[in-house]
Structure 1
């Protein structure tokens, strides 16, 4: 009989979202998972209150380790006795860009707390090489694994553009550039995307910048399939799921070089990595929109399937448990 999987207490301030997808896939491979949600939007006091709650759960003999998602969750989970895995996602280690340069004071505090969480962790997961490199201590970087979030490749699959547009009530002949973020988030740089489309309009090529946010995740595949391409202009990202999801749907991507985007675009010829400049972005859009229309995302689908990523996460769990036992002399 095979050994039972680890009993995992998942702590997160981002639930549902990609955290739910990852923990569900880990559970499918045999782990027992319980989720402790910290609603950080209700104030910093929620993190302070979570410290005692997490400690009590960790001492209940119901779990083998704690997996915290995001640096603040990792800090709150650092005061309990079980092996600790912390996943870093983006601005928790990089900070949030300020309008006048540098990072915002609030995100500087988050980054400091996240670094403390990394010091306490038995194993670390970073969504990109950039995030691993942002860990200031060499010993933290040495036990950090780069594992991007997985994608449900049974749901995010290629499909007919016309059928998707009919389901969404969209014009079949319109050229749509999907901007998969809320326009009023400054670091997503909707202004840069708008400027690029204005350049194209002056050259006689008219595209519609289609900003999509707040759509239930289960409905997103049709939004990708309906688009001519996805455009990413962010100043900062970790490992943007929207890029991987679009490629899994065989939708081409035009993006600035941010986070781990280069890694995925290299696996799907026909996409375009561009400078953070309206003219360069416009040239990339022209190349993609006037090109063959779809890309081959099969390589990406093979690398980001949720089961494959879940197996990598389970290996990190085993490493964290073994490291703690070794340090305890067990």
Structure 2
């Protein structure tokens, strides 16, 4: 099976890991990224998407079994592929944020839509497949904390709370994380530090997970945050806001806390740090291993490739999509 991938971020670790797992299952990928530059505090311009359309048309015409569009803003580009079946994967902010209207408008014209959580499916308001991004259990696994601290250059004094996102990403709410850790630091006898880590090689993230005493997620919205699943795989306790599939992922994980207010975040983080124990999260992480999620996505690929049929009726081109017809 040959797949054309459309994305706004070609180096997204969860996407490249997913592709690697699917390549082991016989899928080949060509990745086409939206034109223009993007950073944590810089979005692409509308013209960048417009000037990407001809590239999509030319590439799709070379023949693919399907187009996999990652993120809602790439869905209109995928539709330019005309007769090629489309799988649309939504990432979270494209369902809960300002991009949501585009995602909702484009989704009915795609042959399959994949979301990361039940909350995303409810927000999208249409039938779709829930598949969280998987975590690589070989890369993310428990290691001795002291050794991990040495590798990342942290000293042995006090406790370290990991925030693995750029502060510029507003939806992650870094100011709230700073506020929560500041309060907890004042309540603890030993120092408590917020460790904001971003821009490091993805292979090194596991070292930070194993070196930290807790992961703090203060996001305003999420789909299925990969940092939470990676923390689970390393048995790192998690204190998080009630967003995305976090309650489902942390069900039965101890110690870990899901909170809805600053007070609950403070109390939860304080309790986790006072216990000073690793969690049992790796058991829960097995449910979202990269192998399991890749198998489920491959089923979607195969279903779409098998159920889309091209035919000609009085000179017009049609596609069979499920039980309906699209001209």
TM-score (norm 1): 0.87
Aligned to 2:57: 55
For 1:37, which of 33, 51, 72 is the aligned residue?
A: 33
1:308 correspondence with 2:292: yes
Q: Distance in 1 between matches of 2:197 and 2:229?
A: 16
1:207-247 C-alpha deviation (Å, 9 max, x unpaired): 11111111111110001100000000111111110000011
Aligned to 1:102: none
Shift of 1:59: 2.0
Aligned to 2:265: 281
Question: Which structure shows the higher helix fraction?
Answer: 1
Does the CA-based 8 Å contact 2:35-2:51 persist in structure 1?
A: no
Does the CA-based 8 Å contact 2:210-2:236 persist in structure 1?
A: yes
Q: 1:151-230 residue pairs with structure 2 within 5 A?
A: 151-205=135-189, 206-230=191-215
3-state DSSP of counterpart to 1:134: helix
Structure 1 moving runs of 4+ over 6 Å: none
Does the CA-based 8 Å contact 1:65-1:82 persist in structure 2?
A: yes
Q: Distance in 2 between matches of 1:87 and 1:12?
A: 10
3-state DSSP of counterpart to 1:310: helix
What is the count of residue pairs matched by the alignment? 305
Aligned to 2:2: 7
Q: Distance in 2 between matches of 1:229 and 1:269?
A: 12
Does the CA-based 8 Å contact 1:86-1:117 persist in structure 2?
A: no
Unaligned runs of 5+ in 2: 39-43, 310-318
1:70 correspondence with 2:66: no
Aligned to 1:100: none
Shift of 1:292: 4.7
1:30-79 C-alpha deviation (Å, 9 max, x unpaired): 11211111145353222112222222222212x10010100111121112
Aligned to 1:21: 17
3-state DSSP of counterpart to 1:327: strand
Does the CA-based 8 Å contact 1:9-1:66 persist in structure 2?
A: yes
Aligned to 1:134: 123
Does the CA-based 8 Å contact 1:75-1:116 persist in structure 2?
A: no
Q: Distance in 1 between matches of 2:258 and 2:100?
A: 28
Q: Distance in 1 between matches of 2:51 and 2:297?
A: 28
Does the CA-based 8 Å contact 1:233-1:276 persist in structure 2?
A: no
For 1:115, which of 97, 104, 111 is the aligned residue?
A: 104
1:131-170 C-alpha deviation (Å, 9 max, x unpaired): 111114xxxx22x111111111111011011000111221
Q: Distance in 1 between matches of 2:31 and 2:162?
A: 32
Shift of 1:267: 4.2
Q: Distance in 2 between matches of 1:241 and 1:22?
A: 12
Deviates further, 284-293 or 248-257 = 284-293
Does the CA-based 8 Å contact 2:213-2:276 persist in structure 1?
A: no
User: What's the C-alpha RMSD, in Å, of the aligned pairs?
Assistant: 1.9
3-state DSSP of counterpart to 1:130: helix
Q: Distance in 2 between matches of 1:267 and 1:324?
A: 41
Does the CA-based 8 Å contact 1:122-1:323 persist in structure 2?
A: no
Shift of 1:203: 2.5
Aligned to 1:93: 95
3-state DSSP of counterpart to 2:171: helix
Shift of 1:327: 1.5
Question: Which structure shows the higher strand fraction?
Answer: 2
Does the CA-based 8 Å contact 1:8-1:64 persist in structure 2?
A: yes
Does the CA-based 8 Å contact 2:68-2:88 persist in structure 1?
A: yes
